[in-house]
Each structure stands twice: as structure tokens, then as C-alpha cells.
Amino acid sequence: MTRTVRFHEVGGPEVLRLEDVDPGEPGPGEVRIRVEAIGVNRAEVLFRSGRYIEPVRRLPSGLGSEAAGVIEAVGPEVAGFEAGQAVSVVPAFSYNDYGMYAERAIAPASALLHRPDGVDAISGAAVWMPYLTAYGAMVEVGGMRAGDVAVVNAASSSVGLAAIHTAGRLGATPVAVTRTRAKRLRLVEEGAAEVIVSDEEDVAERVLELTGGRGAEYVFDAVAGPGVTELARAVAAGGTLLLWGAQSGLPTPYPGFDLGMPALNLRTYTVHEITRDPVRMRRAAAFVASGLRAGAFRAVVDRVFPLEEIAEAHRHMESNAQFGKIVVTV
């Protein structure tokens, strides 16, 4: 038996329970991992509360798709991994099928990456999802190039920070958007060329001012909801507004058609477009590993909680006070 986080009903952080569960043996294409650290993601908060893009299919349910640990056992039809190896688990599966919030957990081998020497468990649980998300959206889907302007909403999130670093590595200009002035200086220190405080400034007007009236080639939005209409005004003609999150939890309108407004591309995106495609995943992993080796990429960790405080970790996520990744250690 192993301690495992589950919930028996959708709701707030208080529904999360730490229970003794048999992790079982790995089946074909699976491994069992001794989990050392877990990356907490906004999607898990939404799934737990019944507001995720995928519904909870059965209860009790587990959680978690990002972790670092050591392989304990390998099932049939697994190649390239063996017991004793340090690995990271990346989001490549449904919460309805697997959950990493546990001391020991079954994971599909297709969601594993070897953990490089010198990358500890906390970094191994915190670094991959943000950079795979940013790379996939900016390079594989968006085709961003040097000289482009990339506006990043919710810039202090782990994905937002990875997007700032990725844009900089590609030679693009990252413009960070944050609600309050409290995080402005830290965003500049992380590489933002400009920081727009949305509670104080009109984001679209400020972007147009910064770009000489042209607008940004790319706007990356993790919030969605009614604010999309205003963000669309910041996009250059032929540019792309890409929605990679839905933190607002509100319906997202399609920006109104206006003959005086430049044509734009509107697209949704999830990291599964990368992690479930072996060819894209190979390219993404190589790009992120290169950035880690060069020192351009790193895990930005906000706070670390023990597994026993998983509900508190979720409350901290919902407070929106974090700067970077929330990690839970086992």
C-alpha cells in the first residue's frame, strides 16, 4: 500500500484526501515509479473542481501528471527504461487514467524522460511542462521567429516565465502582462523586455504603443474569458492570439468581427499536442535540454510543500500569488 492523494467528490481543496492505495504492478507499456517530487498545475485545480476541459469520469479520482522519481518496476513492452533510473513524468495522459499525486505511481512509459545528471527531483518535477508548453506553442504551432513580439499574459505563472525565456532564446521580444505591480521587477529580471500592469494600463493600447502601432505578432493567453476580446486588439495584422489556458473559468467569446480591425488567427492549444506526438516530443525535449545545458532555461520554483499539505498547495495555486512553479515533495 502507498499513500495516494484522491478525491471522492469535486469541489475545493478540502476534498483532497491522503489514502492508502495499492499502486499495482505496471502493465504493458507502463512503469511503476517511486515518486520524489510532484509539479502542481492549474489544470489539476480545474479538474478537481469540475471545471476542466475534460470531465471527471469516475470517483474516487487521482490527480497529477508531472513528477520526478526513480523507476521501481518495468512492465512488458517497455524499451529504453529500466529499474533504478531517475526520470521525469510529463503531461501526456488523462487524469482519468493515471495520477502522480502519490508515493508510488504507475505511469505510461511514453510520458517519461530520462532525468539529466545534475537535475534534482524538485527541478525535474518543475521544469518540463512549462518549457514543453512554451516551445510547442511558440515554435511547433506558432512558428515564432527572431524579431517577433510575443505578449505573454499571466506572465508570472510557470508557463509564462518559460515563455519569456523561450522567446528570448529565439531572438523574439517578450512583453509580460501581469495584473499588479508587485511582480513587475521580478518579470524584468526574468527577461521581459517590457511589463504591462493590466490593472493600471490598457494592454492593447500599450502593446500598440510599444510596437509603433503594428501590434504583436503573437499574444499568448492563459486566462481566456471575456478579456480575449481586448487582447485581440493587441494582435498585428495576420498575427496569432493563442489560448493555452482558461484560468478565468468564464466563457470565452470569439473576438467580434470589425472591418477596422486587422485580420488575426485565433487558436487553442494544449501541451498534449506535443507530448502525445513522438516526433514533436523528440524535438521539444531536445530544445528544452539544450536550453538547460546552456543555462538559458531553469526551473523557477515558488514554494515547496510536503505531500501531507497537498490541499494547502492547491489553495496557494488558487490564490494567484505564486511566481513560478509550486512543487510537492514526497
Render pLDDT for 246-268 as a digit per residue (tens, 0 to 9). Answer: 888 788 887 766 646 677 889 99
Beta strand segments in the chain, E? 2-7, 16-21, 30-40, 67-74, 86-89, 104-108, 112-114, 149-152, 173-178, 194-197, 216-221, 235-243, 265-268, 301-306, 325-329
**How crowded is the C-beta side of 105, counted as CA atoms within 13 Å?**
33
Dist. CA 256–CA 115, nearest whole Å: 46
Dist. CA 165–CA 48, nearest whole Å: 30
Radius of gyration of the chain (CA): 20
Q: What is the pLDDT of residue 29?
A: 98
pLDDT digits (tens, 9 = 90+) for 158-184: 999 999 999 999 999 999 999 989 999
One-letter amino acid for residue 215 of the chain? G
State the chain's mean pLDDT as an integer.
Answer: 95
Whether pTM > 0.85 for this model: the answer is yes
DSSP assignment string, 250-319: S--PPPPP-TTS---EEEE--THHHHT-HHHHHHHHHHHHHHHHHTS----EEEEEEGGGHHHHHHHHHH
Dist. CA 223–CA 327, nearest whole Å: 21
Grade residue 236 by pLDDT with cuts at 50, 70 and 90: very high
One-letter amino acid for residue 269 of the chain? Y
pLDDT digits (tens, 9 = 90+) for 262-314: 778 899 999 999 999 999 999 999 999 999 999 999 999 999 999 999 999 99
- Going by their DSSP bridges, the two strands 149-152 and 216-221 should be labelled as parallel
Q: What is the pLDDT of residue 248?
A: 80
Q: How much is the average pLDDT of 178-195?
A: 96
Counting every residue written for the chain, the total comes to 330
Which residues lie below 8 Å from residue 253, measured CB to CB, with a gap of 6+?
Answer: 226, 228, 229
Q: How much is the average pLDDT of 67-76?
A: 98
Determine contact, residues 216/151, Cβ cutoff 8 Å.
yes
Torsion angle, alpha carbons of 184, 186, 192, 195, to 10: 0
Q: What is the pLDDT of residue 252?
A: 86
Angle ∠(220,305,122) on CA atoms, nearest 5: 65
pLDDT digits (tens, 9 = 90+) for 97-139: 999 999 999 999 999 999 988 899 999 999 999 999 999 999 9
| pLDDT > 90 in the chain, percent | 88
Dist. CA 207–CA 115, nearest whole Å: 39
Q: What is the pLDDT of residue 258?
A: 60
